[in-house]
Chains A and B, each alone.
Chain A
Amino acid sequence: MLELESLSVDYGTQRAVQDLSINLTPGQIGCLIGPSGCGKTTVLRAIGGFERPTTGRIRLGGRVVSTPDHIVAPEERRIGMVFQDLALFPHLTVARNIGFGLHRYSRDQRRRRIAGLLELTGLEGMDQAYPHELSGGQQQRVAVARAMAPRPTIMLLDEPFSSLDPELRESLPRELREIFRGDGITVLQVTHDQPEAFAMADEIGVLRAGALEQWDTAYALYHMPQTRFVADFIGEGIMLPGEVIDERHIDTELGHVRTRIPEQCSAGSAVDVLLRPDDIQHDDDSAVKARVVDRTFRGAQFLYTLALDSGRRVLCLAASHHDHPPGEYIGIRPELDHVVVFPGTA
């Protein structure tokens, strides 16, 4: 449905997007995530027809819409866009906002389409309201309904939830996901917010300085990051130094780890082991002890920052009835069966 082939975009002499290739199948919900300035918004604007690629091409529904030499105008692309600031038309009612892109429909068709979308997005009865009379979540739904109205080939969402309050940021992405799923709409979203990406997307691409680091499911990004950047950017964790013993084993402060070793690492070479908070289990009976340095209460769980004997810090997620003050030594049990290993930097 959407194919980016080696897409690069420049701003003047600055390369904003670098050799990016992505493929979204019909009905798939994709997401680009990365720190601010990584070029993710530029990708959306290029797909929308607002930026010209320097190299590569963009296909929408099989049709080439962007090459360095030729650009199909945004109004001829059949794209639905939702921006962070929503950009609702303030002087038009909800119904007219939603109907804005339906100028080729007959009056009757338009009315039916608007009514259908109002129902789908849970905005029944709001059709005559003006944007400023709506809550943040309702405005968001209007923006989505407006973008969906002309049945676009693809929906592009640019940080669509970042202006909402935390509660809506939880619930709305799931709601919208249901809506998109129900309609079989292909979606590409960009965000810097992980929970948002995890809640919406089937597959997520991590962008760094305009280049794609990894394109995978949320699970794979978290548990099988292919680069240090992805490991660092997605989820919490620390790097524990170790030394390769043989093709299967690494020696670390927390004992021997049996895992897959990167190909370029031979016996004796230094490596870093990615430890997620859930790789360290709290176990009062364990002989391995670590000192509590800091803890963050997270409702059901505590996130402990622990100091090992060497002084190195690790993270540990424990059920929140295990309440240990800083300074206390607690037992830990490393579960290092499927950890990811990176070649050492030193």
Chain B
Amino acid sequence: MASLNAAARAVGTGRHLWRPDGWALGVGLVSLLMALPILVVASYALHPGNEVWAHLVDTVLVDYITNSLLLAAGVGVGTLTIGVGTAWLTVMCEFPFRRNLAWLVLLPMAMPAYIIAYTYTGILEFAGPVQDTLRAWTGWQHGDYWFPPVRSLGGAIVMLTLVLYPYIYLLARAAFIEQCVCVLEVARTLGLGPFAVFRRVALPLARPAIVTGLTLVLMETLADFGTVKYFGVSTFTTGIFRTWFGLGDQAAAAQLSAVLLAFVFSLILLERWSRRQRSYHHTGHAYQALPTYHLQGARRYGATAACALPVLLGFAIPAGQLAVWSWQTAPAQLSGPFPQLVANTVTLAGITSVLAVALALLLGYGRRLRRGALVRAAVRIAGLGYAVPGTVIAVGVIIPLAWLDNTIDGLSRDYLGLSTGLILSGTLVALVFAYLVRFLAVSLQTVEAALTKVSIHVDDTARSLGATPMRLLRRLHLPLLRGSLFTAGLLVFVDVLKELPATMILRPFDFNTLAVRTFELASDEQLAAAAPAALAIALTGIGPVVLLSRSIAHSRPGHRKHA
């Protein structure tokens, strides 16, 4: 008994020991479940390759790696240029429509890359309006001129850049806004011009934030399936898909997934490492307004144009084209399968977001109650899935679930004499599970951020006033967190709505969502028919953008709030 007590002391180091260990157990279980697909895929890295794998290595693997890296490099450079540039302009310069553009540049986030990819294909292809006009003006015929091909690696880079740069914009903007006025002013008094201040002071200070943004962009790029598939660029994600469905080799697909996973995790490590390098992240609390450069003459409108162009290309033009197409095809689509698609999608996204919020609450709350290193690590593991491409998660989900299904089916046949079929892997269970693995981090981050805003002393005070943990949750945390829980749910909802590769792999037979239907129709060259579903996805995607834009409007403490 005495040794038991000693052990309890050693484990808990004194904090909150009287609570039953249910929380820690729950947190551990959830994070184990969430890590399962990743572990399954990673384990295939150790498998010896079969002949399909050898064939892949001989033929396409080099292509996959080169294309994926080129894509990542191109998108990296593109998003950095646009993201950092627009962030600096909107924070530090005064020009017409600055305040509106500050949130408008977020709009492309609402557009999944595969949707603008097929929209631009429609606009720019040989029979599209742009080339039509070009020929009408110049009198050229087919073969008389060269036009950049949209469906190419370069095209994929442009498409992904146009929708992913807001990640860098958001983080760079936050870093620029938090920078200390005095550091900038000291630099000015030391004789640096505005551009030199940007290059030598502001940019290095914002670098950690920008690197984090870049990491997110590269993860999304590596995860992209729809764009590269539609453009016929062979990358890891399309390769995994092809190996799984085309060659029917699950082991080889899992091995490809393991290689992609290695790329993703090196990205994460690189980002961690680059953040560890910074020892200067706080430059002070300057609650005064940042001084802005008043641009003169043509440069004023140049700045406006520079910020407006990404919005036009990344949102306005494709959305306009989708609207035009929808106008033509909506009557036929709406009377057809469209309502069923919406119902399917909303059901899936709804179930997932409710579960994701509930799990995030469990994890976030568990971490708050038990501040041990183990619980912290478990919570972190549970959020890892966000870095992993949907294709990889799908592979990692279906392998263990199929095994479980076969086992259950086998047992049931042996003992009950009836076949249960695929009760997990062939149903929505697999799909929701995969979504949770991929998007739990989204809700977790929101819930944790909200929880840390509630002082731990609030908990302690309530406890000392006689509140049990349950009363604490009900009377204090739930009311205080309500807004954030809604936000978390909405973010997950929209992410599920846009998700394509995992849905395509895991959906039950004949079960369609808006995203899958859009992609199928677009792949069949029925671009106009795909428009209503695509437009529905894009418009729903504006929800999180509005939330984000509201939070960036008054994020500088003590700054005047602009309505």
Residues of A within 8 A of B (CB): 9-12, 45, 48-52, 54, 68-69, 71, 73-81, 83-87, 89-91, 100-101, 103-104, 146-147, 149-150, 152
Contact = CB atoms under 8 A, between A and B. Distances in A.
14 contacts: A45-B460, A52-B14, A68-B9, A73-B18, A75-B463, A75-B465, A80-B464, A81-B461, A81-B464, A87-B461, A89-B458, A101-B466, A147-B461, A152-B464
B14 A48 contact: no
Contacts of B476: 89
A165 B18 CA distance: 38
A74 B460 contact: yes
B211 to A, nearest CB: 33
A50 B17 CA distance: 9
A87 B15 contact: no
Nearest to B6: A68
B15 A75 contact: no
Nearest to B459: A87
Contact of B15 (A50, A69, A76, A150): A50
**7 A-B pairs with least C-beta separation:** A101-B465, A87-B457, A83-B457, A74-B463, A52-B14, A87-B458, A81-B464
Contacts of A85: 455, 457
B468 interface: yes
Given A68-B5, A69-B5, A85-B455, A79 B464 contact: yes
A51 B17 CA distance: 8
Interface hub of B12, B16, B460, B466 (most chain A Cβ within 10 A): B466
Contacts of B14: 9-11, 51-52, 54
Contacts of B9: 52, 54, 68
A213 B552 CA distance: 51
Contacts of B471: 103
A87 B464 contact: no
Contacts of B15: 50-51
Given A49-B18, A50-B463, A146-B465, 5 more contacts: A9-B14, A51-B14, A87-B455, A87-B457, A87-B458
A91 B479 contact: yes
A100 B455 CA distance: 17
A10 B475 CA distance: 32
A235 to B, nearest CB: 31
B15 to A, nearest CB: 7
A74 B17 CA distance: 11
Contacts of A68: 5, 9
Nearest to B461: A87
Interface in B10-62: 12-18
A86 B460 CA distance: 11
B184 to A, nearest CB: 30
B480 interface: yes
A9 B475 CA distance: 32
B465 A100 contact: yes
B457 A75 contact: no
Contact of B466 (A12, A54, A90, A103): A103
A12 B16 contact: no
A74 B398 CA distance: 47
A91 B15 CA distance: 27
Given A51-B15, A85-B455, A87-B455, A75 B466 contact: yes
Contact of A100 (B18, B460, B467): B467
Contacts of B466: 75-76, 78, 101, 103-104, 150
B462 interface: yes
Contact of B17 (A52, A79, A83, A87): A52
Interface string B238-275: 00000000000000000000000000000000000000
B460 A87 contact: yes
Interface in B518-556: none
Nearest to B463: A74
Interface in B419-466: 455, 457-458, 460-466
Contacts of B17: 52, 71
Contacts of A91: 479-480
Contacts of B480: 90-91
Nearest to A156: B464
A91 B476 CA distance: 8
A71 B464 CA distance: 14
Given A10-B14, A51-B15, A75-B467, A83 B5 contact: no
Contacts of B462: 89, 100
Contacts of B16: 50
A9 B455 CA distance: 23
Contacts of B467: 75, 100-101, 103
A271 B20 CA distance: 57
A69 B476 CA distance: 31
Contacts of B468: 75
Nearest to B476: A89
A321 B15 CA distance: 57
A89 B463 CA distance: 13
A100 B18 CA distance: 22
Interface hub of B16, B17, B457, B468 (most chain A Cβ within 10 A): B457
A152 B465 CA distance: 9
A77 B5 contact: no
Interface string B71-115: 000000000000000000000000000000000000000000000
A12 B464 contact: no
A12 B13 contact: yes
B464 A75 contact: yes
Contacts of A69: 5
Contacts of B479: 91
A83 B13 contact: no
Contact of B464 (A9, A52, A77): A77
Interface hub of B15, B463, B465 (most chain A Cβ within 10 A): B465
A255 B463 CA distance: 60
Nearest to B467: A75
B17 to A, nearest CB: 6
Contacts of A76: 466
A75 B463 CA distance: 5
Nearest to B2: A69
Nearest to A73: B18
B523 to A, nearest CB: 50
Contacts of B475: 100
B13 A50 contact: no
Nearest to B5: A69
Nearest to A69: B5
Contacts of B458: 87, 89
A156 to B, nearest CB: 8
Interface in B451-502: 455, 457-458, 460-468, 471, 475-476, 479-480
Contacts of B13: 10-12
B468 to A, nearest CB: 6
A68 B5 CA distance: 9
A83 B460 contact: yes
Interface string B321-337: 00000000000000000
A222 to B, nearest CB: 32
Given A71-B18, A87-B458, A104-B466, A52 B12 contact: yes
A51 B463 CA distance: 13
Nearest to A91: B479
A77 B17 CA distance: 16
A105 to B, nearest CB: 11
A101 to B, nearest CB: 3
A36 B205 CA distance: 31
